[in-house]
Amino acid sequence: MGPRIIVALDFPRTKEAADFVRVLDPKLCRVKVGKELFTAAGPAFVESLAGQGFDVFLDLKFHDIPNTVARACRLAASLGVWMLNVHALGGRTMMLAARESLESIQGRRPLLVAVTVLTSMTGAEMAEVGLGDNVGAAVSRLAALTAQCGLAGVVCSAQEAAGLRAERGTEFLLVTPGIRLAGDGAQDQKRVTTPEQAIAWGASYLVIGRPVTRALDPNKVLIESARGIESAHGA
């Protein structure tokens, strides 16, 4: 499986991200490029990360009409990314189009996953936009739809991972943001947990941002986190 930690490169400027990446060991982690850094740095930076040996999760959460999303996924794949995502709320036709757009790629094909419910959202906020107030039920429903569309897995809170693992089996990928190390605050996310808890609950990959990017020794943090993950996985 390789490294299970995905470091979120949530930097507003290319130079900051590039300076940080220089100290990272690609054998210890994968990296995530989201909307902020992609807007600042563009596709060339994503290609450069792949060229440095990093597996890149391009986290742009495509959510548009099916043809637009399909073309966007195809272009994203051409950057050499390891994983990319769409938003499950785009529906069945959109997710099928996204998956089909990648099927003719020769060689290494990126993993395609779907976002369920953002980890910043609460039940009350979901109700405000007409999705009901039961986060767990919404995540379960969207994960089932994602599986039906043939995608590799979903992005979800680790707090939903145990239920989804039981529902969807061992092969379905669960990518969990909102990971905080012991002693860290939740910041702008509501549904957060530790790496050890996330793995114990069935997470496949853990997205960790500020606890790594703001560390004095990021590789040390990654090594220590990996040890905790191995211990939890073996428990």
pLDDT in tens, 13-65: 999 999 999 999 999 999 999 999 999 999 999 999 999 999 999 999 999 99
Q: Give the integer Cα–Cα distance in Å for 24 and 220.
A: 10
- CB-count burial class (<10 Å; 0-12, 13-18, 19+) for 195: buried
- Chain centroid offset of residue 98 CA: 17
Share of the chain above pLDDT 70, in %: 94
Rg of the chain over all Cα atoms, to the nearest angstrom: 17
Higher-confidence position of 35 and 182: 35
Higher-confidence position of 101 and 227: 101
Report the pLDDT value the prediction gives residue 231, as an integer from 0 to 100: 74
The pLDDT of 143-171, averaged and rounded, is 96
* Among 15, 61, 190, 220, the one annotated catalytic: 61
3-state secondary structure of 28: coil
Catalytic residue list contains 61: yes
Cβ(201)–Cβ(161) below 8 Å: yes
Q: Give the integer Cα–Cα distance in Å for 21 and 212.
A: 11
The pLDDT of 110-121, averaged and rounded, is 94
Crossing angle (nearest 10°) for helices 14-23 and 43-51: 10
Res 67 pLDDT > 60: yes
Q: Which amino acid is at 127?
A: A
Q: Give the integer Cα–Cα distance in Å for 97 and 74.
A: 10
Res 234 pLDDT > 60: no
The pLDDT of 71-86, averaged and rounded, is 98
Would you say the C-alpha torsion 201, 206, 207, 210 has a positive or negative sign? Answer: positive
Res 203 pLDDT > 70: yes
Report the pLDDT value the prediction gives residue 191, as an integer from 0 to 100: 47
Q: Give the integer Cα–Cα distance in Å for 137 and 157.
A: 13
Of 23, 21, 12, 32, give the one whose Cα is nearest residue 208: 32
